[in-house]
Amino acid sequence: MSCFAPISRKHQALLRRIHLRYQTVTQPLHIGPLTFAFTRIANPDLVLDEVAREEDRLERVSGRRADADAQHLPYWAELWDSGLGLAEHVLKRICGPRVDSSNALLDADVLDLGCGMGLSGTVAAAMGA
């Protein structure tokens, strides 16, 4: 089941804003029978380097080291293996062994909070949430 849809104007505008700062790649991502056109940061390590440089600059300016909890690490910049695992789990949990319904979660409310790139929410949305 392919989840490729025409890119909306809002989606295009968001990609333009992202491209002002980051290079991205779009690749097909397969989760069970679902296939998504998945856009991600081309090199997440560059984003991490940028964050580290900014933290170093702030430390030099202020003379204080930031608490690790206060650092803004770019967890959103990389698709984590755990995100893929959770997306696969969501798909199996929703549909069981036969994943063939694109509306298994029709009208369900789903919150994908603090989940990196939001892949599990994307899978839930593809299933009708």
The packing angle between helices 119-126 and 81-95, to 10°, is 30
* pLDDT value at residue 93: 74
pLDDT at 106 over 70: no
CA distance to 36, 76, 83, per residue, from 33 (Å): 10, 25, 17
CA distance to 33, 91, 92, 119, 128, per residue, from 98 (Å): 10, 10, 8, 20, 16
Distance CA(123)–CA(110), nearest Å, equals 10
50-103: pLDDT as tens digits: 888 888 888 899 888 777 666 667 777 888 888 888 888 878 777 665 555 555
* pLDDT value at residue 77: 82
30-57: pLDDT as tens digits: 888 888 888 888 998 888 888 888 888 8
* pLDDT value at residue 34: 84
